[in-house]
Chains A and B, each alone.
Chain A
Amino acid sequence: MPRTSIVALKIAYRSITRRKFRSALTILGVIIGISTIVSLMTIAYGMRTQVKNTLNEMLGAGIIVSSRTSGVDIPEYVKDIILNVSGVKDAVPVITTMANVGNQPVLTIGINPKDATRLYRVSLAEGRLLNQGEKDSVIFGASTAATLGIQVNDTVTLSTQMGGVGKKFRVVGLLRAIGTGELSIGCFLTLDAAQELVNRKGYVSDILVILDDPNLGEELERTFRTMFEDASVVRQEELMRQIDRIMNIINGVLLALGAVSLAVGALGILNTVMMSVHERRREIGMLKAVGAERWHILSLFLSEALIISIIGGLIGCGLGLTSVYLIQWLVSMIGLNLTIPLLIAPDILIGAFLVAISIGLIAGLYPSWKAANVPPVEALRYE
C-alpha cells in the first residue's frame, strides 16, 4: 500500500471521528439498509428451507398423480394400476382439500392411518392416533389446534368449502410438531371419512407414488403421463423447482425492499462526502499546492466513503441477524407457533458486506471526483 494511501486513510478516519454525529447518522443509514437486507434474506432463506423440508416430509413421494382440477376425481383403484408398474415401491391414495372448521379454512388430509405411519414420522402430542376405518374422529396438528382453540375430546364440525351440511367429528389426538414443524398444521381423518365428507366414495384427489429408485423419476413420470391423460402428474423435483421459483419471486420482492433502504444509505454517504468536500475546498487546494495529485485527493475522499460503508456494513450484518432472532421471539410472544428456522447463511452475510462496500464506492465516487477537480488556486481564495 502506498504511503500516501495510509495518510489518506488517516485523514479520512480523523475526518469521520471529528464529525461524530454526522458520521453516525450516515453510518446508521448504511446499517439500516444492510440489516434490512440481511434480516429479510435470512428469513427468506429459512422459509425456503422450511418449505422444502416440509414438502419432503409431507410428500415423501417421488411422483404425485392428482386430479387436474382441484376436485376429487381419481378412482381409488388407480392405486392398484400404479402398484403394478415396475419401479414403483408403494402408492398411497389421499384426499387433500380445504375444509371449514366453523368459518376457519383448514387444510384437511384424508389418509389411511397405516399409510400415514408408514410414510411420515408421526408423533403424538396428546390423545391417540386414528384407527383404520374410523369415520367420526379426527386428529389435529398441534399448531392448528392451538390457533383454533381445539382440545382433545372436543367435537368439531367440518364442512366442505362447496357448502352443504357439516359433519360432526370428535377430536381424538393432537400431532406434535416434529423436525421443522410439519404435520403440526392441518386436520387429519381417515380416507373413508374424507370421502364421505366430500361425498366422493371410491375417489381420491392424489396418489402419492414412492419409487424404488429416485433416478427412475423422469421415466416413470412419462409413463404415468401416457397412462393417465386426464390427471396431472408432477414429479417432486419439479414441484420443488416450482416452489423455488415462487420463493425466488418473494426473494426478489424482499431484495427490492432492501434496495430502497440501501439507496437511502447511499444517498446519505453521497451527502456526507459532498459536504465534506464542500467544507474542505481550501484544504484540497492547499494539498494540491503542496504537490498532491488528483488521485491523492480522490483516494482521500473515497477512503472516507469506504470507512463509513465498511463500519455500516459490519454493524448492519450483526444487527440484521439480531433482528431475525427478535422477529422470531416476537412471533412466539404473540402466540403464533410459526417456527422459521434461523439459518445463518455465510453467503448472505458476505454478499451484504460486499454490497455495503460497493455502495460506499459508488456513492463516494462522484463527490471524490469533484474534490479531485478542485483547482489549486482555491488555496489562496479567501471568502
Chain B
Amino acid sequence: MSNIVELYNVIKTYNLGEGIKVEALRGVNLKIARGEFVSIQGPSGSGKTTLLNIIGGLDKPTSGKIIIDGTDITPLGEKELARFRREKIGFIFQFFNLVPLLTALENVELPMLFSGKLSNKEIQERAIDLLKLVGLEKRMQHKPTQLSGGEQQRVAIARALANEPAIILGDEPTGNIDRATGLRIIRLIKNLNETLDQTFVIVTHDLAVAKASKRTLFMTDGKLEETPPKTVLTIPAPVLMEERRQLFLAELGWLKSSLLILKERREEIDPDTFHNAFSAYKTRLEKIRKLLKEYSSAGGEKNNEA
C-alpha cells in the first residue's frame, strides 16, 4: 500500500508580532496510506486546522517535509501549489463554502473548469454524475441559499470529488448541521471511502465521525498522537493564560485604587459600611494575589505584581 500523505517533522510557528510566537505544530510526523479514512481529534487551538492547511497546500510549514501522493510540495511556489490543490486535493468545510452566486451544478463544475482538462460537455456530464452520486440529481439548478445545510455539504463533497483528488480533507464537515443530517453525511463519506477507495482525512469534534473512521489521531498542543491524551488541559494555550493574568493584574490595580479612595474618605462614610467594604475589597485582593502567583509560576514568568 502506497502512502498518500507523508509528513516529516513538520513545524509551524505563527508570529503574532511584538515577539509573541505561537507554535501551532511542534514536529508532526504522519503517514496516511491510500484508501484510509482518518479522523483527527483535539481541543480548539491544538493545531488541527493548521495541520489540514498544510497537508492541503493552503499554508506552508516553517520547517519539515511534506510529500503528498509522491510529490514533495514543500518547495512549491504559489502557482504550483494552486495546481497541486486542484489536481490532488478536495476540500470539505464546516460552513460548506459554496460560491453563493453559482448553482449546485456550477459549483461542482468549478474545479474542473480551473484545471481545464475536460471539454465543457465532459465537465457537465461529470458534474451531473457526481451530484447523482451524492443524491442531489433533483437540486442541481438550485443556488446554495435554496439548499439545506446537509444538501450544501453534499454539493461540497461532489465538488471535492470533481478532479479525482488523491485525498479529501474535511474540516468539521458535520460541525454546522443537525445530528441526523450529520450522520447521513458521515455515512456518505464512509460509503465513498469504501466504494471508491477515496482517502479522507477529517478534523472533527464529532465522535460519530471518529467512530466511522478507520483510524483516529489525537492532536494536543501541536503534537499528533495515536492514543488519546491522558489529561485534558483546562487552559490549553499559554496565550490564553497570559490574557487571564493581564485581566487579574487589571483588577488588582482597580482594587488598590478603590481601597485608597475608601481610606481617604473614611470620615464621610459611616463606620459599618466602611468596614464591610474594606474587608470585601481586601479579601478579593488577597485572592487575586494568590491566583496571580499560581499563573506566574505555571507560565514560567516573572511575578510582575510588585
Contact = CB atoms under 8 A, between A and B. Distances in A.
A376 B58 contact: yes
Interface residues of A, number: 28
A376 B114 CA distance: 15
A287 interface: yes
Contact of A290 (B49, B95, B111, B120): B111
Nearest to B94: A382
A291 B85 CA distance: 5
B259 interface: no
A18 B101 contact: yes
Given A3-B116, A7-B110, A292-B114, A379 B97 contact: yes
Nearest to A2: B116
A290 to B, nearest CB: 5
Q: Which of B78, B99, B159 has the most CB of A within 10 A?
A: B99
A157 interface: no
Contact of B159 (A7, A18, A290): A290
Given A14-B101, A283-B100, A4 B163 contact: no
Interface residues on B, range: 20 to 34
Contact of B93 (A11, A15, A18, A380): A380
B164 interface: no
Interface string A1-34: 0111001001100110010000000000000000
B67 interface: no
Main secondary structure of the interface of A (DSSP, over half): helix
Contacts of B97: 282-283, 286, 289, 379
B172 to A, nearest CB: 9
A379 B93 contact: yes
B53 A283 contact: no
A293 B58 contact: no
A294 B78 contact: yes
B80 to A, nearest CB: 10
A68 interface: no
Q: Which of A2, A10, A290, A296 has the most CB of B within 10 A?
A: A290
Interface string A166-185: 00000000000000000000
A320 B83 CA distance: 48
A291 B49 contact: no
Nearest to B49: A380
A3 B101 contact: no
Contacts of A377: 53, 58-59
A79 interface: no
Contact of A292 (B49, B82, B89, B95): B82
Contacts of B115: 291
Nearest to A4: B113
A288 interface: yes
Contacts of B91: 286, 289-290, 379
B86 A290 contact: yes
A375 B53 CA distance: 11
Contact of B52 (A3, A290, A291, A380): A380
B58 A11 contact: no
7 residue pairs, one from A and one from B, having the closest CB atoms: A291-B86, A14-B101, A286-B97, A376-B58, A291-B114, A293-B82, A290-B111
Given A283-B100, A291-B82, 6 more contacts: A283-B97, A286-B93, A286-B97, A289-B89, A375-B59, A377-B53
18 contacts: A4-B114, A10-B102, A11-B99, A15-B101, A282-B97, A283-B97, A283-B100, A286-B93, A286-B99, A289-B97, A290-B111, A291-B85, A291-B111, A291-B163, A376-B58, A379-B97, A380-B52, A380-B58
